């Protein structure tokens, strides 16, 4: 069907919880969605099939799984569920778009797809420092092995309970993750490259007032010890002012230096904030009528699988209503 006259009713870009939920609702509404799923390859960018949940271990906060579920397994189940209702997949990345008029055009390399509505669910990616020890996490979801970019996902794992942990970063996320970890850990050191936090004042106060949190200023992690043994035993800290190096024992390193929405493809076309998050109104409507955005690419606040799924549902229902109204010749407001 690529590059033909065929026009999809709904084209979904992205295959995390938001994309799959949008596919579930639109396929059950007989809209036969086509999903461009990012392809099987995933890595640091986390734009591939299944998205960020494929780099976490046990998910205990997705409703319906009293024993928890492994992130990658949850994403396979979501895929099987939408395939059952007829969702079709293009197993690759979207490379170019033209939203200047309907039908919208989306390319995957040389193949062009046309669609009446597009649901953007390309997610976000955790930023990494760039250390070798982080690589197993990109490649296989080793949060339980000691390095993680998500305290909410991994912090309660046995590997981190009653242990001394480190959070890297100085923003609200770092403080929030550190606060969360204090529920399980013996102590949490926030390692920050400067001598002042970027986090909001109220969050700073919470960190400073928490007896389990220690601030390690002017420091960066130069090395994480023992990745080959699939565990973390210590880090080498480098003083960013003097360059002096020290080794500090720790059982886990949580990288919390921010997220980057996967929105490069839409720059200059869809409205976004200064950090690249797509801005929406009516929850999931972009500035272009017929183009919806859901999940982490438009949510920098909650960033949870269940909230992404919820907004994917909203996008699907709104797309269905828009198509139905247009088909009925009703007046459509955006």
Q: CA-to-CA distance for 20 and 81, rounded, in angstroms?
A: 9
- Minimum CB distance to ligand NAP, residue 71 (Å): 20
Q: Does 306 bind ligand NAP (CB under 6 A)?
A: no
- Minimum CB distance to ligand NAP, residue 211 (Å): 21
Please list every residue from 209 through 228 that binds ligand NAP, using CB under 6 A: 220
Measured CA to CA in angstroms, residue 157 lies from 19, 58, 229, 302, 320 at distances of: 27, 8, 18, 21, 40
Cβ-count burial 79-104 (b if 16+ within 10 Å, e if not): bebbeebebebbebbbeebebeebbb
Q: CA-to-CA distance for 56 and 149, rounded, in angstroms?
A: 9
Measured CA to CA in angstroms, residue 272 lies from 110, 268, 277 at distances of: 27, 9, 5
Q: Does 148 bind ligand NAP (CB under 6 A)?
A: no
Q: Does 58 bind ligand NAP (CB under 6 A)?
A: no
Q: Does 257 bind ligand NAP (CB under 6 A)?
A: yes
Phi and psi of 28, rounded to 5°?
-70, -20
Q: Does 299 bind ligand NAP (CB under 6 A)?
A: no
Question: Using an 8 Å Cβ cutoff, are 49 and 15 in contact?
Answer: yes
- Minimum CB distance to ligand NAP, residue 81 (Å): 31
Site string for ligand NAP, 105-144 (x = CB under 6 A): ------------------------x---------------
Q: CA-to-CA distance for 49 and 39, rounded, in angstroms?
A: 6
Q: Of residues 176, 296, 299, 320, which one binds ligand NAP by CB under 6 A? A: 176
Residues with a catalytic annotation lie at 150, 153-154
**Residue number, 159 or 253, with CB nearest to ligand NAP:** 253
- The residues of the shown chain that bind ligand NAP, judged by CB under 6 A, are 129, 168-174, 176, 193-194, 198, 220, 257-259, 300
């Amino acid at each position: 069907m690529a590059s033909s006259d065929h026009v999809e009713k709904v084209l979904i870009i992205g295959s995390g919880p938001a994309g799959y939920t949008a596919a579930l609702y639109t396929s059950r509404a007989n809209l036969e969605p086509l999903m461009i799923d990012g392809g099987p390859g995933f890595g640091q960018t986390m734009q591939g099939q299944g998205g960020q949940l494929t780099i976490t271990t046990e998910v205990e906060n997705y409703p319906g799984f009293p024993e928890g579920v492994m992130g990658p397994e949850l994403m396979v189940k979501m895929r099987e569920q939408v395939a059952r209702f007829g969702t079709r997949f293009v197993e690759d990345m979207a490379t170019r778009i033209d939203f200047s008029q309907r039908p919208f055009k989306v390319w995957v390399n040389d193949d062009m797809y046309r669609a009446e509505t597009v649901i953007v669910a390309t997610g976000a990616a955790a930023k990494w420092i760039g250390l070798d020890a982080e690589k197993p996490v990109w490649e296989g979801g080793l949060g339980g092995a000691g390095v993680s970019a998500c305290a909410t996902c991994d912090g309660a794992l046995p590997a981190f309970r009653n242990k001394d942990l480190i959070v890297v970063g100085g923003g609200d996320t770092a403080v929030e993750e550190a606060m969360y970890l204090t529920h399980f850990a013996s102590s949490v050191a926030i390692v920050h490259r400067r001598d002042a936090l970027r986090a909001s004042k109220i969050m700073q106060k919470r960190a400073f007032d928490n007896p389990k949190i220690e601030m390690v200023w002017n420091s960066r992690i130069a090395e994480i010890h023992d990745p080959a043994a699939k565990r973390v035993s210590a880090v080498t800290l480098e003083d960013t002012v003097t360059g002096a190096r020290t080794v500090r024992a720790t059982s886990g390193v949580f990288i919390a230096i921010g997220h980057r929405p996967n929105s490069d493809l839409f720059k200059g076309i869809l409205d976004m904030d200064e950090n690249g998050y797509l801005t929406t109104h009516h929850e999931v409507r972009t500035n272009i009528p017929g183009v919806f955005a859901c999940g982490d690419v438009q949510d920098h606040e909650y960033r949870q699988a269940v909230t992404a799924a919820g907004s994917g549902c909203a996008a699907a229902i709104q797309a269905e209503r828009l198509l139905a109204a247009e088909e009925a010749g009703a007046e459509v407001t955006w």
